[in-house]
Amino acid sequence: GAGITACVGENEIHKFSESIMEGHAYFLRNFRVSKQTRKFNVVPSKYTIFFTPWTIVEEIPTEVSGNLPLYIFNFVDFEDLEERAKHPKGLIDVIGQLTVVHPLVQGNSLNGPSIRENVELRDL
């Protein structure tokens, strides 16, 4: 359930741009790890992974990676929002209160079968 930011430099982007796709899981080797130095971070982690020319990316088979979450959310307690605004520890994408989570809905889209879950937020 934890996440970490990964950066691919301009010199390595050509090597990894077509081999890494959203929704897939990968095993990484030979990367560099440094302390996170950015003031605002998308993922609340103290570290960042940096791809190098020697980084190896291997896709993990679906039967092994099936239990991994596709997305990781970092919800903030409603009462903590004011303090987070004063002392930011990362970016907040949506400010609202989650009030209802509806059941999963199966349907079809232009890309084939899809599953979605609607939620309701109370706007502040």
**Predicted local distance difference test score (pLDDT) of residue 112:** 82
Task: Determine how many CB atoms are found less than 10 A away from the CB of residue 24.
Answer: 13
**Predicted local distance difference test score (pLDDT) of residue 28:** 94
1-93 architecture in CATH?
Beta Barrel (2.40)
Q: Tell me: the pLDDT tens digits for 27-59? A: 999 999 998 877 666 777 888 999 999 999 999
- pLDDT (average), residues 95-107: 86
pLDDT of 9 strictly over 80:
yes
**Predicted local distance difference test score (pLDDT) of residue 88:** 67
**Three-state DSSP class for residue 83:** helix
**Predicted local distance difference test score (pLDDT) of residue 50:** 93
**Predicted local distance difference test score (pLDDT) of residue 30:** 96
pLDDT of 1 strictly over 70:
no
Which class for 123: exposed (0-12), middle (13-18), buried (19 or more C-beta within 10 A)?
A: exposed
Banded model confidence at residue 124, pLDDT cuts 50, 70, 90:
low
Which whole-number Å values give the CA distances from 111 to 11, 47, 70, 108, 115, in the listed order? 32, 35, 18, 8, 12
**Predicted local distance difference test score (pLDDT) of residue 93:** 65
Domain limits, the chain = 1-93
Per-residue tokens: 56: 């190896």
Q: Tell me: the pLDDT tens digits for 61-87? A: 888 887 887 777 777 777 787 787 777
Q: What is the pTM of this model?
A: 0.60
- Cβ distance 124 to 97 under 8 Å? yes
